[in-house]
């Protein structure tokens, strides 16, 4: 048991507990906070894999920006505590069952095919730290097209938001 093994299990356990808490808390604020804990634990797992940049981006983008907006909306709408019955209704229930079964099959398959230590070994084999310099170089050479397409999608989303807001403003006037 090296320090990496111990940390892997700690982060793994925290991220699982966080993920279960997201769906078991009745109050949306607590669910959102549990999701932040999960993101953190996953950032820890990324650090163990040597992907420091991905870990930092995970915290900045998901934990730092997106979840703040989630909290914002929950607070402004003042969503109350959900009752057990209202949580799952009709079609959503069917979808949840289908997805749950698929996830269970996936989990069983991974547990059957992979030995207990494989994930840890492969994680340790790749602990070579990937520098931001290399990521930047790859983004502007090998992955230039996906990179530019992503930026176009973001631009489209930005313009879309402005158009929607402007239309509302004009209607008011």
Binding site for another protein (CB under 8 A): 29-30, 33, 36, 52-53, 55-57, 59-60, 63-65, 68-69, 71-72, 75-76, 129, 131-133
How is residue 28 written in tokens?
């949306």
Structural contact between residues 120 and 66, judged by C-beta atoms closer than 8 angstroms: no
- Under 8 Å CB-to-CB from 14, ≥6 apart: which residues? 37, 38, 40, 41, 44
Cα separation of 78 and 28, whole Å? 10
Q: How far is the CB of 98 from another protein (least distance, A)?
A: 35
CA angle 18, 19, 22 (to 5 degrees): 85
Residue of 38, 36, 41, 39 lying closest to 8 (CA atoms): 41
User: Quick one: 65 or 155, whose CB is closer to another protein?
Assistant: 65
User: Quick one: 33 or 45, whose CB is closer to another protein?
Assistant: 33
User: Quick one: 74 or 92, whose CB is closer to another protein?
Assistant: 74
Q: How far is the CB of 32 from another protein (least distance, A)?
A: 10
Q: How far is the CB of 125 from another protein (least distance, A)?
A: 19
Cα separation of 50 and 43, whole Å? 11
User: Quick one: 126 or 131, whose CB is closer to another protein?
Assistant: 131
Q: How far is the CB of 70 from another protein (least distance, A)?
A: 11
């Amino acid at each position: 048991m090296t320090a990496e093994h111990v940390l892997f299990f700690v982060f793994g356990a925290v991220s699982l507990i966080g993920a279960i808490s997201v769906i078991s808390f009745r109050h949306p604020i607590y669910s959102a906070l549990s999701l932040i804990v999960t993101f953190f634990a996953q950032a820890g797992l990324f650090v163990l894999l040597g992907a420091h940049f991905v870990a930092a981006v995970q915290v900045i983008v998901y934990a730092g920006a997106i979840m703040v907006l989630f909290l914002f909306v929950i607070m402004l709408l003042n969503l109350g505590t959900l009752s057990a019955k209202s949580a799952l209704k009709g079609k959503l229930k069917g979808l949840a069952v289908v997805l749950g079964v698929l996830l269970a099959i996936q989990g069983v398959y991974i547990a059957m095919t992979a030995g207990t230590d494989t994930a840890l070994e492969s994680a340790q084999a790749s602990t070579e730290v990937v520098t931001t310099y290399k990521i930047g170089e790859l983004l502007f050479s090998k992955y230039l097209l996906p990179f530019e397409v992503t930026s176009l999608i973001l631009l489209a989303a930005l313009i879309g938001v402005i158009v929607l807001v402007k239309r509302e403003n004009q209607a008011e006037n």
